Structure 1
């Protein structure tokens, strides 16, 4: 019965037959079966399937081999005979085509872009699931309809009909349209003809929805203090000047040597118009430093505009930076970009390494030429602002991992500033704790921190840096209630486990006979560095990596402590 069913699947053709013994050694075959057998290390393979796997094909199965499709079935022969008989039936071209179409439709219905295919006359022959979600139309209702009926368009407005007439693709076109159900859709689509031997077979388009992205763009501009359309104001050339930077160098808390060096370098840099690149881990206060530079510069009266490049979708970031002109896409209104909005002030690009390499190339051109083009425009607009950018990954790592174009890096880092993490400026932790207690304590109820706990916190790594320290102090203040002192019990749960492992430094007695905090810290630091240098035989790079600090920072500490590195290299 199974044999007859498999033969019937061949649509009138004789199946190819292969006979194997019980050990799956090939015994005989029909003349038309030899082409399906290959030998790998003397072991036969049928349609690319090892002989050992053939018994599992008891029911007819469809198998792909060398670009063709086949029906394969293995029949176990009677016990007295033993062995197996393998039947192979090539699929007809029509069956193959039908199967390929089913596969392609399955793929197109699972991708995250809308796909529409029309015949040369403009009638829909394929409409995928993502497009159905976007437009709110059942694919079964869309199939067979003309595009002008489906989208309430005149023939001249339909890109599918334009491509049908010209046989030329329309790439990356912004569209605004209404479906037959009255749904307003904003998208960007590429429409392409399918041509074979000079004959137009079909037209397809692939689109991405931008309706919600447009709303996000407008919302982001509102948060920046901007409008999508500039208001006429003769004093600002039609611009609304956004809120200025609020911080200055007086807001920077820190008297440690690394921090004082950064502040001095920033104060020298603020007097120039050179582009500045700031490298610092997350939470080190990069924007505080940037605003201080702007407010101390000769251009403090000009706008200060900041944007986090990692927080904006790639296809919106270009419009955010450079703006757009009316007609850049269907329904577009004139949009003022941040480069224009910053005017003669400061444009701060946070997490610049999150920007796509393609957009980095456009930014490079703008920085080099001191001009840019709005989206959809062919005219140049001047770039007058100073650009300050920041990264939270080591610059060398950014370049090695191709997160940042090398040529753009050199253009943006005319002046480079390194903002040290909190673990490299532990001397500032007591000052910061005091500052945050004053900032977050209720009025007329100034809290205090237990000195023993304050000493313990000096040894925590503070991976979140100043932001983590501030959140910790604020959390503790909320948990104290009416109590006066911030103690170990008020620490966040995750910190108790970490700080509890730290051995506190010996405290001085009331008479002052115990070891001093500074000398104890220096002694502990010296011992840790010496052990790392011994382990790595004086190799500064490896020792710094183990200690979790930069090579330059380790060199500075070695020099400060008077450690002779050469003694470990012998």
Structure 2
């Protein structure tokens, strides 16, 4: 039986091949073999020489090429005609390529796009971590399998198969498919061939998931009674307004002067179309007030949408506000933004101080020009909606800490409303308690409240304001079981501890907060405010303007310091 040894040196695409007979005598070699071994295919001088006698050939061999030395390794495998071959590759070059592969794989496994690579036969040769997270398939499960098996595709269908057949790329397209495990995936992907001199080496696709982004956008809008209608303009035109605002001024509970002043100011503001800024601590009921303004205004038949700027990632927030056109960024699909959707309704931007400064600049431009552009578009769209915004931090603090652009603040604060915390309207607490007991008690059996408990709740400072009070009442009703009366024992442990500590003279409850402040600071603040009020004859608006604070903030400080404004108006 005849044998032949085939020695392959170099890259897989351009190998150097040496052929030997069964006695390891040289027969012929490819042109590239000259790079590694000192022979010429046309040279008769080396024909028939044993392998060990070839100039520059050893087994294992050390050869020089382009000024670098390479050590070759040998592996024997059977070939045609009953022979066998020896594959020789430069070990140092192999190590270099191995390191490069590690680097490339590391990079591809850290990017935020899914990457899939298949060979010309449709077998998966690379599957990165992002795609693994998206599809729920480990790289070990995917690599080495047919792409048609992995994605339940028929032969001849699927982007990778089409690109393999046509050698033409498929640009970004929206894809919806199911994995072998039955998981539905929505993504935007580009599929591209890798060619060398028209020879197909591989096909790769880069994709970005749109499922979660779409769900988040839809869920946020649906919570406000909004449905995205980007694909059917007629449906949007013919549909009635969404029920986004449900509260009215009659839903605001309280009889204190502080809350009555707020309602009076809000009722005056609802008749105008100017932007409104509402300042109030967390849990004071800012959205209830904003919804009441919308429902009492001429815009009540138009959409109302509330958006918490602190709850939405910056890149998604811009798209939600302005909308986007297809191709504006990877994965972008035509999207109607809230500015456009709300049209002539009311857009409420809660916690606007959480919005990035860069996005604030874009919002400022829209307010100044009364127009905006979708992300990725140059077409101007008229801004017709009314903007009501709110902050839960003192305005001066926002400006001082650069949480809010000063020019944007003035644009948004044409009308300002200050919603006082619960500790500044303690006379309203019994009314709120009564309302919450009726709301959360089992039907026909409202709970009663022990007098000492009501007194403790009225005197507590309520840092979480109305929201904290309602949650406390609901908790006590749940914990009281079948008992008809609520007592201090039913309070949450953290709150009961603070109230009992306060009874012992500590700072958990009571009205003594101002007295605990540095007396010199209070005296200085009092002197400045009195001087400015005297200068403007008790006019709070002018005094607040000179001090650089909101009128409501000045009212709060005047009340806290016990300053009689009337004495300056005589």
Whether TM exceeds 0.5 here: the answer is yes
Max radius of gyration: which structure? 2
Structure-2 separation of matches of 1:301 and 1:129: 48
Structure-1 separation of matches of 2:435 and 2:399: 37
Shift of 1:109: 2.9
Structure-1 separation of matches of 2:352 and 2:130: 32
Structure-1 separation of matches of 2:271 and 2:95: 75
Q: Does 1:534 pair with 2:519?
A: yes
Shift of 1:286: 0.6
Q: SS of 1:278's equivalent? A: strand
Q: Does 1:556 pair with 2:559?
A: yes
Structure-2 separation of matches of 1:436 and 1:249: 17
Question: Quick check: 202-211 or 254-263, which moved more?
Answer: 202-211
Give the aligned partner of residue 175 of structure 2: 176
Contact map agreement 1:142 1:150 (CA 8 A) in 2: no
Contact map agreement 1:129 1:139 (CA 8 A) in 2: yes
Give the aligned partner of residue 427 of structure 1: 427
Structure-1 separation of matches of 2:277 and 2:251: 21
Contact map agreement 2:169 2:192 (CA 8 A) in 1: no
Shift of 1:180: 9.1
Give the aligned partner of residue 7 of structure 1: none
Q: Does 1:260 pair with 2:260?
A: yes
Contact map agreement 1:455 1:504 (CA 8 A) in 2: no
Distance 1:559 1:481, change over 3 A: same
Counterpart pick for 1:152 among 143, 155, 160: 160
Structure-2 separation of matches of 1:125 and 1:326: 31
Shift of 1:187: 4.0
Shift of 1:386: 0.5
Structure-2 separation of matches of 1:487 and 1:459: 15
Distance 1:258 1:437, change over 3 A: same
Contact map agreement 1:226 1:240 (CA 8 A) in 2: no
Give the aligned partner of residue 269 of structure 2: 269
Contact map agreement 2:299 2:345 (CA 8 A) in 1: yes
Structure-2-length-normalised TM-score: 0.62
1:206-234 per-residue CA deviation (whole Å, 9 max, x = no partner) reads 75422222233334444433333369798
Q: SS of 1:227's equivalent? A: coil
Structure-1-length-normalised TM-score: 0.62
Q: SS of 1:381's equivalent? A: strand
Contact map agreement 1:456 1:502 (CA 8 A) in 2: no
Count of matched residue pairs: 431
Structure-1 separation of matches of 2:427 and 2:243: 34
Shift of 1:287: 0.6
Shift of 1:111: 5.5
Structure-1 separation of matches of 2:226 and 2:516: 56
Q: Does 1:484 pair with 2:492?
A: no
Shift of 1:291: 0.9
Structure-1 separation of matches of 2:407 and 2:206: 34
Structure-1 separation of matches of 2:186 and 2:217: 13
Give the aligned partner of residue 296 of structure 2: 296
Structure-2 separation of matches of 1:136 and 1:537: 61
Give the aligned partner of residue 64 of structure 1: none
Contact map agreement 1:124 1:145 (CA 8 A) in 2: yes
Q: Does 1:459 pair with 2:459?
A: yes
Distance 1:501 1:136, change over 3 A: closer
1:490-543 per-residue CA deviation (whole Å, 9 max, x = no partner) reads 2122211111112289xxxxxxxxxxxxxxxxxx74x653453436573449xx
Q: SS of 2:237's equivalent? A: coil
Shift of 1:280: 1.7
Contact map agreement 1:109 1:128 (CA 8 A) in 2: yes
Contact map agreement 1:325 1:376 (CA 8 A) in 2: yes
Give the aligned partner of residue 128 of structure 1: 128
Structure-1 separation of matches of 2:401 and 2:94: 49
Q: SS of 2:241's equivalent? A: coil
Give the aligned partner of residue 438 of structure 1: 438
1:87-126 superposed matches below 5 A: 99=99, 102=102, 105-106=105-106, 108-110=108-110, 112-115=112-115
Give the aligned partner of residue 371 of structure 1: 371
1:158-197 superposed matches below 5 A: 175-176=174-175, 185-187=185-187
Shift of 1:205: 8.3
Contact map agreement 1:270 1:297 (CA 8 A) in 2: yes
1:322-341 superposed matches below 5 A: 322-324=322-324, 335-341=335-341
Give the aligned partner of residue 309 of structure 2: 309
Contact map agreement 1:253 1:431 (CA 8 A) in 2: yes
1:74-103 per-residue CA deviation (whole Å, 9 max, x = no partner) reads xxxxxxxxxxxxxxxxxx898677556535
Contact map agreement 2:321 2:338 (CA 8 A) in 1: yes
Give the aligned partner of residue 30 of structure 1: none
Structure-1 separation of matches of 2:224 and 2:482: 39
Q: SS of 2:446's equivalent? A: coil
Structure-1 separation of matches of 2:93 and 2:480: 79
Structure-1 separation of matches of 2:403 and 2:504: 41
Question: Quick check: 290-299 or 347-356, which moved more?
Answer: 347-356
Give the aligned partner of residue 398 of structure 1: 398
Shift of 1:325: 5.4
Structure-2 separation of matches of 1:358 and 1:261: 36
1:27-38 superposed matches below 5 A: none
Q: SS of 2:348's equivalent? A: strand
Distance 1:229 1:153, change over 3 A: farther
Give the aligned partner of residue 46 of structure 1: none
Gaps of 5+ in 2: 1-91, 149-155, 195-201, 527-551, 566-570
Structure-2 separation of matches of 1:269 and 1:126: 61
Contact map agreement 2:163 2:192 (CA 8 A) in 1: no
Distance 1:484 1:328, change over 3 A: same
Q: SS of 2:175's equivalent? A: strand
